[in-house]
A and B are shown apart, each in its own frame.
Chain A
Amino acid sequence: MGHYIQLGIEHILDPDGLDHLYFIVSFCLLYTILDLRKIAALVTAFTVGHTITLALAALDKIYVNPDLIEWLIPITILISCLLNYWALLKENEYRTPKGYLIYFVILFFGLIHGLGFSNFLSAMLFEGESIVTPLLGFNIGIEAAQLIIVLMVLLFLSLSDRLLKWKKGVRLLLNTVVTLMVLQMVFA
């Protein structure tokens, strides 16, 4: 089990594959450390989404062309970044977004990312091998890595809010960095 947990963590944190990390950063940007409940709900929505498709794909219940999945994942990140721009620019002062639509959006994006995870998982599973332990371990590893990233982002934002007193600006800047990194990743 530990082996698969480690693979799940490395899958998220590997410097050559930061798309999932960028997505998590993008959906944390609009919040602060005081919004932990909301962030927890968003992470849960994302987790539910990717667990569903990861499990279904690993069990061969669904199949989606890997090329299509790798095309859709950066799309989800860019849409998330666009929504951030809209939320940050529509009002003069920075405000934490309200509403429940975002949870469904994140859950839907989680479905897509889960298919991306399943590509890697299914490549490493052998015929006749029980899927339960690898699936569970891999998913736990992904969750652990996600929580690490979320905490780091929220701590960074808290620190910058306190020191720079420029909430909107820092978030716009980070959002732009993520957008450019994703574009560079794809077009470079």
Chain B
Amino acid sequence: MRLILFAFVFIFSAADTSYKMHPLKMSFSKLVINSEGVVDLQARIFLDDITAQMQVLYDLQPVDFSNIESNSTKALQQYLTSHYYFEQASKKIELRIDTVSFSRNRLALVLQMSTDAPLDATKEVFLTNTLLCDASEKQKNDILHIDKHHLLSMDNPRVKIELN
């Protein structure tokens, strides 16, 4: 019995354990818009997923998100223009990455974002989030805004944001 157990562990030590770090394909965002329409949006994206997608889309090797000026972060900024943005009065309002960092266990890439100009509090605003939906049909993106969670996906990519 001990021999069998040892054999399993030995075989196992050579195994590829990167098969799955997280079963669910999700990103998590927290949106705060103040009374003047200033946007503060933090997004947490699983690093392995976004890294793989950046490699595929932009042929980046290696993928480096260590700072805001890196090629990978700039590529991600480009990616965001078509996957994560506001819409107001039929006009697209792009997000700007202000800082980039990692979660403590380095499983998630943490983006701090804002818009170039405040949103107009008198008009309806919509937020579209299709981050990584092009990488996996199972991808879902959770957005927390005023204690309410909105779950977006490729089938439901857009949500109306209430401005106070």
Which A residues have a C-beta under 8 Å from some C-beta of B? 3, 7, 10-11, 14, 16-19, 60, 63, 66-67, 70-71, 74-75, 78-79, 82, 86, 119-120, 122-124, 126-127, 129, 185-188
30 contacts between A and B (CB under 8 A): A11-B23, A16-B25, A16-B138, A66-B106, A70-B18, A70-B20, A70-B21, A71-B12, A71-B15, A71-B17, A75-B8, A79-B5, A82-B5, A119-B105, A120-B23, A120-B24, A122-B103, A122-B105, A123-B22, A123-B28, A123-B44, A123-B46, A123-B107, A123-B108, A124-B28, A126-B28, A126-B144, A186-B15, A186-B16, A187-B16
Which residues of A sit under 8 angstroms from B28, Cβ to Cβ? 123-124, 126
Known: A78-B12, A82-B4, A86-B1. A185 touches B19 (CB 8 A): yes
Are B4 and A122 in contact (CB-based, < 8 A)?
no
Are B42 and A119 in contact (CB-based, < 8 A)?
no
Are B30 and A126 in contact (CB-based, < 8 A)?
yes
Give bound CA distance, A75 to B17, whole Å: 11
Give bound CA distance, A144 to B130, whole Å: 30
> Chain A's interface: helix, strand, loop or mixed, by majority?
helix
Are A124 and B44 in contact (CB-based, < 8 A)?
yes
Closest 5 CB pairs of A and B: A17-B23, A123-B108, A14-B23, A124-B28, A71-B17
B160 interface hit (Cβ, 8 Å): no
B152 interface hit (Cβ, 8 Å): no
Give bound CA distance, A186 to B46, whole Å: 20
Are A119 and B12 in contact (CB-based, < 8 A)?
no
Are A60 and B104 in contact (CB-based, < 8 A)?
yes
Contacts between the two chains (Cβ within 8 Å), count = 91
Are A124 and B26 in contact (CB-based, < 8 A)?
yes
Which residues of B sit under 8 angstroms from A14, Cβ to Cβ? 23-24
Which residues of A sit under 8 angstroms from B30, Cβ to Cβ? 126, 129
Are B1 and A82 in contact (CB-based, < 8 A)?
yes
- Total number of B residues with any Cβ neighbor in A under 8 Å: 33
Are B24 and A186 in contact (CB-based, < 8 A)?
no
B149 interface hit (Cβ, 8 Å): yes
